[in-house]
């Protein structure tokens, strides 16, 4: 089975501005963290987001590179200053810092950390 093209998945993400979608679609090193899929699935189960039931699978199969959680990420997340108490956000910040990645986020707390962000 061929992996889905990133552009197809991004087309179904109306909350992302067009310039962010274009940038992500063209970035060969764009990654999706396991944390993102975990958070989506939990928020769906709690009824906090309305999205297609298969959204976690769509994100998984989107064509982006996978970013698993490592021991290094866990230690880094635990050692972050408490600017944000959300464990998902803290892990995403830690992963971006450890891997030298830019974090795409709307979260103001994440943007306060010493990490490259692409806010929207």
Condensed to tens digits (0 to 9), the pLDDT of residues 55-97 reads 899 899 988 999 999 999 999 999 999 999 999 999 999 999 9
Q: Name the H helices within 29-70.
A: 34-45, 55-60
What is the per-residue pLDDT across 22-40, written as a single tens digit (0 to 9) for each? 888 888 889 999 999 999 9
In this predicted model, which residue has the larger pLDDT, 120 or 118?
118
What single-letter DSSP state applies at residue 104?
Answer: E
Q: In the block, which residue shows the tokens 């109306």? A: 14
Rounded CA gap, 93 and 55, in Å?
22
Rounded mean pLDDT of 45-62?
90
What is the chain's alpha carbon radius of gyration, rounded to the nearest angstrom? 14
């Amino acid at each position: 089975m061929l992996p889905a093209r990133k552009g197809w998945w991004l087309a179904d993400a109306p909350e992302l501005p067009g310039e962010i979608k274009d940038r992500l679609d063209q970035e060969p090193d764009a990654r999706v963290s396991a944390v993102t899929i975990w958070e989506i699935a939990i928020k769906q189960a709690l009824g906090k987001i309305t999205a297609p039931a298969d959204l976690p699978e769509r994100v998984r199969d989107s064509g982006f590179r996978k970013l698993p959680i490592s021991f290094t990420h866990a230690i880094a997340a635990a050692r972050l200053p408490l600017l944000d108490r959300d464990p998902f956000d803290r892990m995403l910040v830690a992963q971006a810092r450890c891997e030298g990645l830019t974090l795409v986020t709307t979260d103001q707390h994440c943007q306060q950390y010493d990490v490259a962000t692409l806010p929207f």
